[in-house]
Homo-oligomer: A and B are copies of this chain.
Amino acid sequence: MTKNSVKNEVTDKYSLRGRVFNKLREDILSGIYRAGDELREVSIGEDLGVSRTPVREAFRQLELEGLIQIIPNKGAYVTGITAKDVKDIYLMRAPLEGLCARWAAENISKEQMEEMEETVFLSEFHAMKGHSEQMWTYDSRFHEIMYEASGSKMLEHSLKDYHQYVSRLRKVTLSDKERGMASNKEHRAIMEAIKSGQGDMAERLASQHMLNAYDNILSHGFIEHFDAE
């Protein structure tokens, strides 16, 4: 019996509905579908070789996440993430990631701490080598471990959502080697604070980490990847 994770695998990957949901979510967040695009149940179903039933269920979930808007009897339209949303997300994440780091400092388990250290180590390695794809993976994993370590189902759920919403953007920013290195340095500092149980310090650092990330996005004009494109 593994860990008793209540919320992680909300959408099981092995049902047809789960596959449809993950595919559509991925496509929306990665920018394949653009804001305003209409999604038709039948054509989506045909693309994936399934009937309308699982597609409809996936639509309902995407609607609740705010990624699409369903107009009754009319259709489903992609909402996507706008530049304004990105700004809001980073400003909201600042205090929440701070809170999360504080709680992680209080609750992190030995195993989680070890995995976090490994993640930071590997991330630094790939940053130096300029492997941006792996960078992105370990960067994501760092945050996920911290979310889980907070011991708060609510906080973990919210932060995971926000984190995924900006995942496309993070792929772009981390391809800049300089920012990648800086981000890692910040992760390490946060980790040290968590490891030594310094909640205040961890909170401050994690919060600042978000503001730095957003500053970086602004100063490099990465935000243009949204809305226009």
Check if A153 is an interface residue, CB within 8 A of chain B. yes
Whether A72 lies near B15 (C-beta < 8 A) is: yes
Whether B95 lies near A64 (C-beta < 8 A) is: no
Which residues of the other chain, B, contact A56 by a CB distance below 8 angstroms? 57
Give the number of times this chain occurs in the complex, counting copies: 2
Q: Mark A151-168, 1 if CB is under 8 A from B, else 0.
A: 011110110001000000
Interface of A is mostly: helix
Neighbour of A60 across the interface among B7, B61, B162, CB < 8 A: B61
Shortest Cβ distance from A15 into B: residue: B72
Q: Mark A50-70, 1 if CB is under 8 A from B, else 0.
A: 000100111011011110010
Whether B57 lies near A92 (C-beta < 8 A) is: no
Complex-state Cα separation, A152 to B158, whole angstroms: 16
Given contacts A57-B56, A95-B96, contact A72 B155 (CB under 8 A): no
Q: Shortest Cβ distance from A228 into chain B, in angstroms? A: 19
Check if A145 is an interface residue, CB within 8 A of chain B. no
Shortest Cβ distance from A96 into B: residue: B92
Interface window among A83-91, A126-134, A135-143, A184-192: A83-91
Which residues of the other chain, B, contact A14 by a CB distance below 8 angstroms? 72
Top 10 closest pairs, chain A to chain B, by CB: A95-B95, A88-B154, A88-B152, A57-B60, A61-B64, A12-B72, A64-B64, A60-B61, A60-B60, A85-B154
Interface residues in chain A, defined as those with a beta carbon under 8 Å from any beta carbon in chain B: 6-7, 10-12, 14-15, 17, 53, 56-58, 60-61, 63-66, 69, 72, 79, 84-85, 88-89, 91-92, 95-96, 99, 152-155, 157-158, 162
- A/B interface sample: 20 pairs, CB < 8 A: A6-B69, A6-B79, A7-B66, A7-B69, A10-B66, A11-B63, A11-B64, A12-B72, A15-B72, A56-B57, A60-B61, A61-B64, A66-B154, A84-B152, A85-B154, A89-B154, A92-B99, A95-B95, A96-B96, A154-B162
